[in-house]
Amino acid sequence: MSGLGIFDLSGRAAVVWGGGGAIGSAIAETLGRAGASITLIDQDRDRVEAAAARLRDVSLACLALAGDATDREDCDRLVGQAVDRFGRLDICFNAIGGGAGKVLHPAEDYPIDAWDWILDLNLRSTLYGTQAAVKAMIRCGRGGRVLSMSSVRGQLGINAGYSAYVAAKGAINALTRQWATEWAKYNITANAIAPTFVDTPQVAMLLGDPVFKANLIARVPLGRVGSPDDLAGAVLFFCSDASSFVTGQVLTIDGGLTATQ
């Protein structure tokens, strides 16, 4: 295959965990426009239905499912429904997570309830969602793509009370390498993308603080924060045949921030 055909996802089926969220819904559209059938999964029924309606408005094939990715049986049920609907599963995009700005505590006193909440939201959801999806990919026997949302915080500390979030995203980076190693025999690749701040409602309050935003942008060589659209190219690469020989990688998408550290 040559040319842009290596990015074509026609005939493939994807599940997007957190598909009602800002990044999940934007990436679902990217995957759909590349030809994939999409199952959006989110615990917020209204958000996931609204995201699905936006995809259908532009004539993309999609299914919206409500469920809790921190519940293992729910994950198996949701993936089962996706496979029943589209007959196969090729792509698992993990976009559940965040919450860091809501629980800022000094590292030496980081409370265990906040720790558990952030680890469940970011890590357990990614683990259970991926396990359910990969079991289905193995059954389908056509290989597959796992792509997870990490963060630059998986590799960089930040002097702002982020202990649980950095632990969760660091674990996602490590798991990505482990999954790549174990699932290569099924021709399933596992990669992650690690942005700095992406302008979404989840970080709107922080980015709404002009001093915080000016300090942040001053450290980013390309001089701005990211947008969900900035992730689209990397997602298409990692979810398509373009990345057939790439696995276990964590790509920072950060305007050069980590290059300066």
Ligand X SMILES: NC(=O)c1ccc[n+]([C@@H]2O[C@H](COP(=O)([O-])OP(=O)(O)OC[C@H]3O[C@@H](n4cnc5c(N)ncnc54)[C@H](O)[C@@H]3O)[C@@H](O)[C@H]2O)c1
Minimum Å gap between C-beta 102 and ligand X is 11
**Nearer CB in complex with ligand X: 9/51:** 51
Binding residues for ligand X restricted to 188-227, rule: CB under 6 A: 195, 197-198, 200-203
Interface segment toward ligand X; rule CB under 6 A; list 5-13, 17-25, 82-90, 134-142: 17-25
- Mention every residue, 6+ apart, whose C-beta is less than 8 A from residue 237: 7, 243, 246
x/- mask, ligand X, residues 50-69, rule CB under 6 A, reads ------------------xx
Query: Using the rule CB under 6 A, which residue among 37, 39, 43, 163 binds ligand X?
Result: 43
> Nearest 5°: CA angle at 11, between 10 and 17?
90
Q: Can you tell me the distance from the alpha carbon of 185 to that of 247, in angstroms, rounded to the nearest whole number?
A: 12
SS3 16: strand
70 lies in the site for ligand X, by CB under 6 A: yes
Where would I find the beta strands (DSSP E) of the chain? 13-17, 37-42, 62-66, 91-94, 144-149, 188-195, 250-253
Residue showing the smallest CB distance to ligand X in the complex: 21
107-126 residues near ligand X, rule: CB under 6 A: 121-122, 125
What phi, psi does 90 have (nearest 5°)?
-120, -25
CB of 186 to ligand X, least distance (A): 25
Is 165 tagged catalytic? yes
Which lies closer to ligand X via its Cβ, residue 200 or residue 258?
A: 200
| Binding piece for ligand X, criterion CB under 6 A, among 4-12, 18-26, 104-112, 182-190 | 18-26
CA distance 137 to 141: 6
Answer yes or no whether residue 20 interacts with ligand X by CB under 6 A. Answer: yes
User: What number of H helices and E strands is found in the chain?
Assistant: 9, 7
Tell me how far apart the alpha carbons of residues 165 and 11 are, in angstroms, rounded to a whole number: 36
For ligand X, the binding residues (CB under 6 A) are 18, 20-24, 42-44, 47, 68-70, 95-98, 121-122, 125, 149, 151, 195, 197-198, 200-203
Catalytic residues: 165
